[in-house]
Amino acid sequence: MHAMKMIAAAALFSVAAGAATAAELAAEWATIKAPDMPALQKVTADPKTTALLVMDFMKASCTEQARPRCVATVAPVKKLLDEARAKGVTIIYTVTGNEPTMTNFLPELAAKSGEPIYAARADKFLNPDLDKVLKEKGIKTVIPVGTAANGAVLYTASGAAYRNYDVLVPVDGMSGSSAFSEQVTAWQLLNGPGLADRVKLTKTDMISF
């Protein structure tokens, strides 16, 4: 009986020690200094094998009231979109919700006739038609732009990299509810397992076709 009590006491001590350690680790978060912004790369993409993924610029969320950071990305994304279309780059749209329609999309960034639209949540590759059409078109490089940075951009860029696409992420073409969410996304895309070899961070005006 005495031995059992000792074992139980040791187990309780171990649990308590583990909880204390976890609490101490979390307490360190407040003291963490953010890493320096990574160097952005000037890149050239082959228009024949590149797709621009325009994701989730929805009327309800991309407003000055709801997400001013999203509004700030509209002009650079529009410029990149116009350049990509002029060069014959494949343009693909995704929307949140269940219906692949432009009804609730920002009109200045909306799809033109013949540009496919897919409905999916954060990881757009959860809709298998996206990977299918990319492969059918011989796409090797994707450029994801959209909101939210730590949602559609992070998970779709990661999904593309894990499917062996090269990924160019313009930091002025992704937005979050805060600068922190964008920074986390940029850091994760360069440091996450299996991503660094496939992902490059850039800007819309540093991409040429």
pTM of the model: 0.87
Beta strands in the chain, from DSSP E residues, in sequence order: 43-44, 50-55, 90-95, 117-119, 141-147, 166-170, 174-175, 199-202, 207-208
pLDDT interval class at 13 (50, 70, 90): very low
Distance of alpha carbon 167 from alpha carbon 174, whole angstroms:
14
pLDDT interval class at 29 (50, 70, 90): confident
Backbone angles phi, psi at 126, to 5 degrees: -65, -20
CATH architecture of the domain 43-208 equals 3-Layer(aba) Sandwich (3.40)
Contact 52, 91 (CB under 8 A): yes
pLDDT interval class at 5 (50, 70, 90): very low
**Domain ranges in the chain?**
2-29, 43-208
Contact 161, 195 (CB under 8 A): yes
Give me the mean pLDDT over the 1-27 stretch: 56
Per-residue pLDDT tens over the stretch 85-94? 999 999 999 9
pLDDT interval class at 45 (50, 70, 90): very high
The answer, yes or no, to whether residue 185 has pLDDT greater than 70, is yes
Q: Is 132 helix (H, G, I), strand (E, B) or coil?
A: helix
